[in-house]
Amino acid sequence: MKDFKIVICGGGSTYTAGIVKDLLDQSHELKIRELWLYDIDEERQNKVAVVVQAVVAQFAPDLDVRVTTDPAEAFSGANFIMAQMRVGGLEMRVSDEVTCLKHGVVGQETCGAGGMAYGMRTIYPMCQLVDYCEEYAAPDYWIVNYSNPAAIVAKAMHKLRPNARILDICDMPVEIEARMAEILGCELDDIEVDYFGLNHFGWFTSVRCKGEDVTDKLKAHVRTYGYISEASLNDSLVKDPDWQHTFENSATISTLFQDYLPNTYYQYYLMPDSCVEYMDINNTRGMQVINGREKRMFAASEALQRGEDVDLTQFYVGVHGRFIVDVVKSLALDLRHRHLVIVPNNGIIENLSDDATVEVPAYITDRGPEPVRVGTIPRFYKGLIENQDACEGLIVEAVIEGSYQKALQAFTLNRTIPSATVAKALLDDLIEQNKGYWPELK
């Protein structure tokens, strides 16, 4: 049986322990030869590693997890690199959110100006990761990439590193599918979807549960409740009000546009005014993560170091870990499982340009994804998507060319920004805030 060297790049993430747990859950099929955590932030990664070691001690005591900040050590002979880097850390997530909200526009890590700012920070570090893998990893390595903003990162890599063995993914659709399963009272594995769009900018066109078409049934539910099951609707212990609010907002969008079921992220593009109203500049999402998930992770790390018992299940969140492990497994073992992935369009959506960066279902083989053809899409969706894809393409070009004009054009095109003058003022502020991260724009 083949075994694999797996590297988690961005080892210091609050998601690492959850991903490792899912890797161990599936290690009877996906055999692990070596497991490495790699990060550029040694101190942070060491804290997270304590929690990871505890997970491993419980579920795979014979496995030796290695922790490093040395790329040669991390990537040498690596088969699978799970990337989840956050350039600038949560601190810059908060900076983007606050700067945007000061201008009265959506401050969000992947959508609108926040996403563009984060994209401009991430493109070159991502190129560096690809270069490390080209230099050190096994020739048939795969980077499976969760790093955000996935749409911009993917587009940049298709342009700057076209031969990289990188597959960009996002867990949002599958998180929504898990909600669909809960609404329908079935298992996630019973669900199969058709879907098209860009990352954080797509639509479910059809949903099947054990082969039965449940699209209309789901649409009726989502129009009333959003992606919230009746059980969790009555659950007084809502753990994360922010995500609850997001899932509820899909009710409005699917009432206004009844053709398909929306990705939750459309709230920022189609309801930016109400999103800004809902957002709190003193308690942004980034702040909530720092004071919640991150604080709990660091506290657990300290408690474990003191030899105390810690409830590790709090770090096994949603389907996030399972999804990336499923994709790696399908690549590793040529399982041809069907997953949504982010790929160059190249005719998948017939009436979009080839270089659009689309998110669609694909069968995942050991040679990469085999996308399912979508055909043509109606004018409204095409218009939305072309606008957003142009915006993301201009951000990539702005970074490559160091072009202020292209960055301004991208900001102006984005649906979350109301005018060219707001776009300019906000861009100028973000340039200040992102000194040391963005290339110089002239």
- Residue in 22, 39, 168, 171 annotated catalytic: 171
The one segment of 71-79, 170-178, 271-279, 347-355 that binds ligand G6P by CB under 6 A: 170-178
Binding residue count for ligand G6P, defined by CB under 6 A: 7
Nearer to Mn ion, 10 or 71 (CB): 10
87 touches which of ligand G6P, Mn ion, none (CB within 5 to 8 A by kind)?
none
Picked from ligand G6P, Mn ion, none, the partner binding residue 284 (CB below 5 to 8 A depending on kind) is none
CB of 15 to ligand G6P, least distance (A): 9
- Measured distance CA(399)–CA(395) in Å, rounded: 6
CA distances from 273 to 50, 295, 322, 411 (A): 42, 31, 34, 17
Does 148 bind ligand G6P (CB under 6 A)? Our answer is: yes
What residues between 172 and 191 interact with ligand G6P by CB under 6 A? 172
CB of 383 to ligand G6P, least distance (A): 24
Altogether, the residues listed in the chain come to a count of 442
Q: What is the DSSP string of 283-329?
A: S-HHHHHIIIIIHHHHHHHHHHHTT----GGGG--TTHHHHHHHHHH
Q: What is the rounded distance in angstroms from the CA atom of residue 224 to the CA atom of residue 20?
A: 37
Active site residue 429: no
Residue 111 CB, shortest distance to ligand G6P, in Å, is 10
Residue 423, C-beta contacts closer than 8 angstroms, at least 6 positions apart: 408, 411, 412, 414, 417
Q: Which helix (H) or strand (E) holds 407?
A: helix 404-413
Q: Which of 285, 322, 339, 415 binds ligand G6P (CB under 6 A)?
A: 285
Separation of alpha carbons 194 and 138, rounded Å:
34
Of these, 22, 39, 171, 392, which contacts ligand G6P (CB under 6 A)? Answer: 171
Q: x/- binding map, residues 98-127, to ligand G6P, per CB under 6 A?
A: ------------x-----------------
Task: Pick the closest to residue 205 from 254, 261, 258, 257 (CA basis).
Answer: 261
Q: Which helix (H) or strand (E) holds 65?
A: strand 65-68
How near is the Cβ of 172 to ligand G6P at its closest, in Å?
4
| Contacts to ligand G6P from residues 337-356, by CB under 6 A | none
Which residue is it, tokens 């669900």? Answer: 191
What is the Cα–Cα distance from 74 to 58, expressed in whole angstroms?
Answer: 24
140 is catalytic: no
Nearer to ligand G6P, 52 or 170 (CB): 170
Tell me which of Mn ion, ligand G6P, none is bound by residue 285, counting a contact when its beta carbon lies within the kind-specific cut-off of 5 to 8 angstroms. Answer: ligand G6P
Catalytic one of 141, 265, 269, 381? 265
The yes or no reply on residue 400 touching ligand G6P (CB under 6 A) is no
152 or 180: whose CB is closer to Mn ion?
A: 152
Rounded (10°) angle between helices 112-136 and 420-433: 50
Q: Which of 232, 217, 211, 226 is nearest to 262 (CA)?
A: 226
Q: Which residues bind ligand G6P (CB under 6 A)?
A: 110, 148, 170-172, 285, 289
Active site residues: 171, 265
